[in-house]
Amino acid sequence: MGQHCRMNCDDGLAGAERQVAEAVAAEYESLSVECRADPARLMRLLAPDFHEFGASGGELGYEGTAELVALSTDPEAEPIMVENMRARLLADGLVMIKYTSANQGRRSNRTSLWRRVGPGRWQIFHHQGTITKS
C-alpha cells in the first residue's frame, strides 16, 4: 500500500511539473520573434476567449491580435528578453506564469494564464503587462 501511494504521488508531481514545463515552453514560443512575426503560428497559441491588458494600457481580444503583433514585429529585431520567470500550476490544465520582459528599451512585469486544450497543447487565455521602471 505504501509503495502504491508513493508511486501515485510521484506521478502527480511529475504530471504537475510536465504541465508547468509545457506551459512555460508555450510562453517562450509566444515571445519568439519567429512566432510573433507569423500570425497563423501565434493564433494557434491564443484561446478564442483570449484577453490582454497591454503594457500600453490598452485592451486586446482574440480577433486581430495575431495580425497586430505581426505588424509590430521586426523579424530582425532583438528577441524579447525574459527575467525571473516563474510558473505555478493553479489546477489541472491551468498554469499561471509571471516574469519581467525587456524589449526595445521598455521593461514590463507580465502575467499569463495558460489552459491545456489537448495533450501537450496549451493556449493563453489571459495576459497582462505593466510597465516597470526597474
pLDDT digit string, tens, across residues 28-44: 999 999 999 999 999 99
Beta bridge partners of 98: 86, 111
Q: Three-state secondary structure along the chain?
A: CHHHHHHHHHHHHHHHHHHHHHHHHHHHHHHCHHHHCCHHHHHCCEEEEEEEECCCCCEEECCCHHHHHHHCCCCCCCCCEEEEEEEEEEECCEEEEEEEEEECCEEEEEEEEEEEEECCEEEEEEEEEEEECC
| Per-residue confidence (pLDDT) for residue 48, from 0 to 100 | 97
Q: Assign 133 a pLDDT band (cuts: 50, 70, 90).
A: confident
Domains and CATH numbers, the chain: 2-132 (3.10.450.50)
Per-residue pLDDT tens for 63-121? 999 999 999 998 888 899 999 999 999 999 999 999 999 988 899 999 999 999 999 99
Beta bridge partners of 97: 87, 112
Per-residue pLDDT tens for 42-62? 999 999 999 999 878 889 999
